[in-house]
Amino acid sequence: MPHRLPQSVLFCCDHNAVRSPMAEGIMKQFYGTGTYVQSAGVRNDLEIDGFSIAVCAELGVELARHRSRSFDDMERMGEVLSSFDVIVALSERSRDLAAELTQGFHCELEYWPIVDPTAQGETRDAKLEAYRKARDQIVAQIKAHWGDGAS
């Protein structure tokens, strides 16, 4: 049985360039503006990944305008991690950092171990398939947690 939709969700991963932007975009597509959704990375050292843009476009999710940001960037912009109802870490490093940064605060931290597709596949088609698998894992997790939404 799916959980009630939280008021705010933060998705996080290592660089905010592949998995967490996909999760942010998919969640916004499924549930509209009823939930405040953001994403961040441990570091902000990469731009949004072109394969992520391509496989999300297949679902009607637009990521091309996404700008990567880190936990530090969020804090500088006035977004306090502890203000999110749920933080969903998609990588071990982001889970560990989110746990450290929210220690002592009341927010739910979940870990969804989504495979990192960036080092998989030799050809363009094989890479796209790896990114689709990661995207589909994210879709399955979101639907399992919060239902089918408006999609």
Whole-angstrom Cα distance, residue 27 to residue 86? 13
- The pLDDT tens digits of the residues spanning 1-31 come to 677 889 999 999 999 999 999 999 999 999 9
Helix or strand (DSSP H, E) at 110 = strand 108-111
Whole-angstrom Cα distance, residue 137 to residue 151? 16
**Cβ atoms < 10 Å from Cβ of 126:** 11
Whole-angstrom Cα distance, residue 49 to residue 31? 23
CB 133 within 8 A of CB 55: no
- The pLDDT tens digits of the residues spanning 45-76 come to 878 999 999 999 999 999 999 999 998 998 89
- The pLDDT tens digits of the residues spanning 78-127 come to 888 888 999 999 999 999 999 998 888 888 999 999 999 998 989 999 99
Beta bridge partners of 87: 10, 109
**Cβ atoms < 10 Å from Cβ of 108:** 13
| pLDDT at residue 81, as a whole number | 82
For 67, phi then psi, to 5°, come to: -115, 120
Write the CB contacts of 110 (distance below 8 Å, at least 6 apart in sequence): 86, 87, 88, 89, 145
